[in-house]
Chains A and B, each alone.
Chain A
Amino acid sequence: MSQRVEQPGRPIPTADTRSYHLIVKTTIVALIVMATNSFGNYALKLGLSGGAGVSSWAPMPYIRALFHPWVIVGVLLMLGWFLSRLVLLSWADLSYVLPVTAFSYVLSAALGITLLDESVSQVHWAGICLITVGVALTIFTRPGTTPPTGSEVP
């Protein structure tokens, strides 16, 4: 899947266009990862605090919790998160994906401030600033630093 076959009549992509396409697709998929994670966690929290809570080691409460409507929505969104993250990991390093997609924490906080009118303390603002700086430091590194075929992966 990683070996692209050049077709007659199609222009051969230059290093600049490949780099541009890499940035665009990394940004789009990372945004999908962040959105599904933020809304998935929100839906799960709604479901678990709305009567589907589990607090023992018995398996039945966990299975019952899976049929709560908000938990179903949350699980579907988390499935989308999992699949979109796998797609992103197909060309980007784990050490790149982890900090960059952590921007979802900032998005969740922004949603809380704007939609739910939540108050944000100075400590929270400090956290938002640190995450943003951490993401900014990582996002300007090259997404992939290992060979795409994974020949060096154990």
Chain B
Amino acid sequence: MRWLLVALVVIPGTIGDVLNSAGMKRQGELDEWSLRALGRFGWDILHNWYILVGLPAMALSFFALMALLSTTTISFAVPATASSFILETAMAKYWLKEKVDWHRWAGSILVAIGIVLLAL
């Protein structure tokens, strides 16, 4: 059951993150910090289909993480889900067409390994 929970954390979490990123890139940059601009930004988020589809995926990942943390130790849960860093960087490069140079690849891989070591 715990590996099923790991899959439910990683796969919907990755899909949700990629959809959120695609949605926010379509929506455009928040470059004003007035209440009116923030309100309009929030309103646009509520009408952004990428975010609206990504949110349930993130929620599923979140509840699966809650269940995983309840049933296993952090030293298992955190390293097992750290693979999402590599998966999401690959999705960012090939699906979102981001320019992922060696700095970012190395950064993601080092962070993922570091998280595994922190949880041991």
Contact = CB atoms under 8 A, between A and B. Distances in A.
Most buried by B among A2, A3, A4: A2
A153 B69 contact: no
A54 interface: yes
Taking residues whose C-beta sits less than 8 angstroms from the other chain, chain A's interface range is 35 or more
Nearest to B117: A127
B66 A44 contact: yes
Interface in B64-82: 66-67, 69-71, 74
A131 B20 CA distance: 24
A95 B25 contact: no
The listed residue with most A CB atoms (<10 A of its CB), out of B30, B37, B69, is: B30
Interface string A138-153: 1011000110111011
Nearest to B25: A150
Contacts of B24: 86, 89-90
A150 B26 contact: yes
Interface in A104-154: 105, 109, 123-124, 126-138, 140-141, 145-146, 148-150, 152-154
A31 interface: no
A54 B96 contact: no
Interface of A: 1-4, 44-45, 48, 53-55, 62, 65, 78, 82, 85-87, 89-91, 93-99, 102, 105, 109, 123-124, 126-138, 140-141, 145-146, 148-150, 152-154
28 contacts: A1-B41, A3-B28, A44-B69, A54-B67, A55-B71, A62-B63, A86-B20, A89-B20, A89-B25, A90-B28, A90-B30, A91-B31, A93-B92, A105-B115, A105-B118, A123-B117, A126-B114, A130-B114, A131-B110, A131-B111, A135-B107, A137-B104, A138-B103, A138-B107, A146-B98, A150-B27, A152-B97, A153-B25
Interface of B: 17-18, 20-22, 24-32, 37, 40-41, 44-45, 51, 58, 62-63, 66-67, 69-71, 74, 85, 88-89, 91-93, 95-101, 103-104, 106-111, 113-120
